[in-house]
Structure 1
Amino acid sequence: MPPRTPTRVAIASRVYAPEPAAAAFRLRAAASALARRGADVTVLTSRTSAAGLAGERGVRVRRWPVLRAKDGTVRGYLPYASFDAPLLGRLLLGRRNDTVLVEPPPTTGTVARLALTIRRTPYVYYAADLVSAAAEGAGFPAPVVALTRALEAFAVRRAAAVVTVNDDLRRHVERLGAAPSRVHVVGNGVDTGVFTLDGPVRDVAPGRSGPLFVYPGTMNDLHGAEVFVEGFRRALPDLPGATLVMVGRGSEVERVAAAGATLEPGSFVGLDAMPGTDVAAIVRGATAALASVRPGGGYTIALATKAVAAAATGTPVVFAGEGPTVDVVTEGGLGHAVPWDADAVADALRTVARGSDGDAGRRAERAAWVQANASLDAVGERVAEIVLAARR
């Protein structure tokens, strides 16, 4: 018998590793899992200047130049269009695939549905978040929310399967018109090969002798990361020598930096986005890692993965906000979950700086819980199984 032809799978996403974004790394985990199962995987993504290795055995990454927003992300109308328009041609004229895994935004899902319907190729939509829900919560004009919801519905209704990360998102997807039998909850995970208990520690506040608090990740209006600047300001008189470090990009970076500049000299450090290994080295040396979700901002149905990634290094977490992250932090003993309020944040910073959260035993327990319950490898395997099952 002739050898069996490997299943051809494409992944269509505006971001992919090594870009420092949760979507980039969950897709790399899915690609690696697909390759381990013998699939021939091609990733159609954007060109990036991010440093670090992204290649995996059996995975080809094809990058296309795109417009990027001021903060360096592929986010906003023109950046989306600069990726989606060429993607239409790449899917229509490129190699024929057995199935395609498609990452939001819904404009990419719409383009993928159009191209793949013509080519009669099934696709799986990875609804780890819903842009329409976020837009509504952020107070976007009603016509924008309606258009976004229509595009999202268009993308999910014809998908052979929809992958999502929790039951709240599953219900949203079903309300958009996806058949319940085609919606799969796979959970959310972090890269426990990068965010590890043991590893190098990077000192980003030389000369400072007090506790170190690190916010590692995107700072958009949905996150409300500025609450940590104000909370830190209120806690600082009780924590001499303390330092607040904000690492990442996003639409709120300038506002956060401006607020940080008003703090005690030397107590605030702002760093650009960087590879996960470097972020992990900074977080490992922190007294606590910080994560937030602004209430009512449309993001409360999603997990703040930066909180779980930080906990994988053993570092305790201070989470401010609402949503499933509260349950994860509480159930996993990952740290402190408080309301999105500067006074509540200040109290949590004082507590974690003075308590036993950073003891070696507690750190090991925290890291072990993440490894057992929120590993990105396990999520990638579940996604790969669904993608391969979608073949005709």
Structure 2
Amino acid sequence: MKKSLLRAAITTALTVAFAVPAFANPFSDVPSNHWAYKAVNDLQKAGIVEGYNGKFDGSKNMTRYEMAQIVAKAMTKAQTDDQKGTVDKLSKEFAVELMNLGVKVDGLEKKVDNMVKVSGDARVRYFDTDNSDANDAGSITDYRARVSFDGKINDNMKFNARLSSGNADAEGASKGINLDTANVTFKTYALENTVGRQDIKLGSGYIMDAQMNGLASKVGGLKVFGGNATQNFSTTKDANQVETVYGAEYAMNLGGAKITADYLNNADTDEEIYGANISGKIMNGVTATAEYFKNNDLDADSKAYGVKLNKLGLSATYRDVEAGGLTAYSALNNNHFNEAMNEGGFKGMEYQLDRELAKNTVLTVKHQDFEKQDGAELAGRTSAVVNVKF
């Protein structure tokens, strides 16, 4: 059906349900001998249609948004079974537009809740160092695209799956599509359990921000997990080396500050890392962070102190990481700049700018000015990332 005929069709469909006594012609462009005259008149008197500057404009194309407005008004008028039946059919057809209008439709929320939701992100990154040597990657550009699918299986169970291109170098061919996550979440008494391949992030991501095949359970502010995790960086030829890990995190809010206590155990190397992260507002528009972690087996400490000007999106962080203090699962670790940061530890400043370029589009620029713990100079590292979410 052409959109230009939609007005006439809908007035005919609604007129039986919302017939009211007719009075003078409300629209100058609908003559009394027109086949839809009574329908248009009845709907105007019922307050369902208003027209345009004294005209009905029946030949004008109608947008779905305009149609949803008519349906929304009709929903408030429906009283009889016939009226409710007519409106129910229309509300299902224009469900999305009605939701955008903030109109509640009986059963619509449940229907939408049961639908598979699709979201994703695309990222382009640029890395550069002041110089290139055996421990540095020089200048590299890579990209990644991901699409997530989230759905409800029943009232007690839901699923997640995410496809990812991986970090593909812009200079080469794509590495193909990977099943980045695939898991099911279900409730057992007070526990929320997720089994399968999933994201695991502890605190700020310093000791772990990676994917794991295993089981994670949450109750209140406590999260425990165990399984096989994929490293963000490996010193072996296998860049995706997998190790067995387990750990826990307890998160809480205290006086406006967010505090997390974290524990990570690498069963393959028998290393234990524990520590805490705290962040909170110290004055209007200014947030401070502090974190401390310790590799218990290597007796290596890691400390960081930072401040962020939220309105400007600017942050500065001082890091002091002893040799062995940085894990292969850390958000700081990646396959571009890694060996120089791991050999002998590092310390120095990290500066970051986060700027929203447009809706759902964020630019992040970061510069790391580190040196080794023995004072040896490291090449400065700069990265720029544009991330788009949809």
* Same fold flag (TM > 0.5): no
Structure showing the higher helix proportion among its residues: 1
Of Structure 1 and Structure 2, the greater strand share is in 2
TM range (shorter): under 0.3
